[in-house]
Structures are given as structure tokens and as C-alpha cells.
Amino acid sequence: MMRLFVFGLGYTASRIATAMRECGWSVDATGSAGNIDFDDEDAVLAALSGVSHVLSSVPPSADSDPVLDRYGRALEGKWLGYLSSTGVYGDARGAWVDEASPTGTGRRTARAECDARWLDARARVFRLPGIYGPGRSALDRVREGKAHRIDVPGQVFSRVHVDDIVSCVLAAIEGDAAVGAYNLADDLPTSQNAVIEEACRLLGMTPPPLQTMDEADLSPMARGFYAENRRVANGKAKRALGWRPRFATYREGLTEIMARE
């Protein structure tokens, strides 16, 4: 039986683990939904000794990567995957970015440093934009009255359905993908306003009013979200992994979530 170890069994990694188990793999993991405590070094090292593949979704700490700092030496020689962020590219003023674009110039400097360390460790680094899916989408924000339409002309974001992340990571594992970075995004970068409007249409609700960031009283984290403007190209993952997003745009993704509900 093939064995996978996952550091950080969160929203996305949990779905990857489930898919791997359905393919006949044994999966151990840390995290609130995992079966091993990250701080139980003996248990982690014992589990790592018997696995061929390791995936980390653990975010950076204030100044470093917790997984590499503590367990990096035990990962040598294994197939490594890391769930990173397209935030490593910083603000591109609406231009397209790909895996050859510079990193480390945006607000996610700690993430960019960890991204680089995983690449140095010979990992497959999956750079993810805004992740949405069941229980975590514009549909939920509209229902909860937490959706905003912000008046920032020309602002665009990329996003990806969680199921498309799962399918790409599985393709990378099954195809023994080359070490390197892979952007995982859908085919249509667009404004957050357009996504909220589509969610409202599907729900039969009136879109929230267009507001400035001050009027919407956005948190510092949300303001940071609007401080960067870029389109994320997914061509490398398509070419190298034979991957295609099942949900090519937010429209298909939101429609599928509604149908699943």
C-alpha cells in the first residue's frame, strides 16, 4: 500500500487526503482533523519513516516554515508537495503572472520565503489563489450578509475550486511531476464584484450596494487583499500535468456548489 503523510489537514488538504484514500493510499496527518500531533516528534518521525510521499499545507510562522524547521531532515529522498499561495507574486497591476514571474515583492513575504525553501528542498510547489468550494464560497457570504461589492475599477483576482486543486495534486502524484512551481487557477480572472453578483443571481437575492473600502469598513487583512491586482496563468500545470480545471470559471463552480447543496 502506498502511504502519504500530510502536514496540516485543513480545508483543502482534507479533500486531497480523502481522494488519496479512495485511490487505495494510506494517509496519516497532523492538524485538528489528523491522527498525529505535530508536536509528538516520535510519532511524526515514525510515520514519516514509512511513507514515500509528503504534502504540507502548513502556513509560515512569523519568520519561518514550521515543517521544514522541525522535520526537514526526515523529508530527504521523499516525494514532496507544498500548498503555497499566488500571493508570493505581489501586485502585478492587473498583468498576468506565471511561474517565471518574480516573487517576494508583495505582502506575503514570509510565504514567499517558505515557497523558496520548499523549492530548494525539491518539492512540487502548488501556488494557489483564492480557494472556494462547498461551505466556503460567495454563496455562503451572500447568505450570511457578509458579501461586499467594492468600488475599485480594474481590480481582478484569480480563484480556483477546491476540487480542481485535488485533481491537480493527484495528477502530480500519479504522474510523478517534475520538481518546481505550478500555478493552479481557473481560466477566468475577474473582479470579486462579478462573483458576488453571480452568487446573488443564483440565490435570487439583490446584490449588496457598491461601496468604497472605507464605507465597507474592511479589516486590514481584507484591505490587503485589494492592495494587489494580478491575473494568474495556469498554462504550465496544463502542459506539464495534463490537468484541466473542471470548473473553468466561477460560474461553473458556483452552479455546481448550488446543485450539490
Q: Average pLDDT of each block of 10 consecutive residues along the chain (261 residues)?
A: 95 98 97 95 97 97 92 97 96 96 86 96 98 98 95 95 98 96 98 97 97 88 88 98 97 96 85
pTM, entire model:
0.96
CA proximity to 146, closest of 155, 159, 156, 136: 136
Question: What is residue 218's predicted lDDT score, i.e. its pLDDT?
Answer: 85
Question: What is residue 184's predicted lDDT score, i.e. its pLDDT?
Answer: 98
Grid cell digits, residue 22: 479512495
Sign of the alpha-carbon torsion through 28, 29, 35, 36:
positive
- C-alpha 35/C-alpha 110 separation (Å) is 28
CA proximity to 6, closest of 76, 83, 61: 83
Question: What is residue 44's predicted lDDT score, i.e. its pLDDT?
Answer: 98
Question: What is residue 2's predicted lDDT score, i.e. its pLDDT?
Answer: 94
Strand-pairing partners, residue 56, are: 7, 82
- C-alpha 101/C-alpha 108 separation (Å) is 15
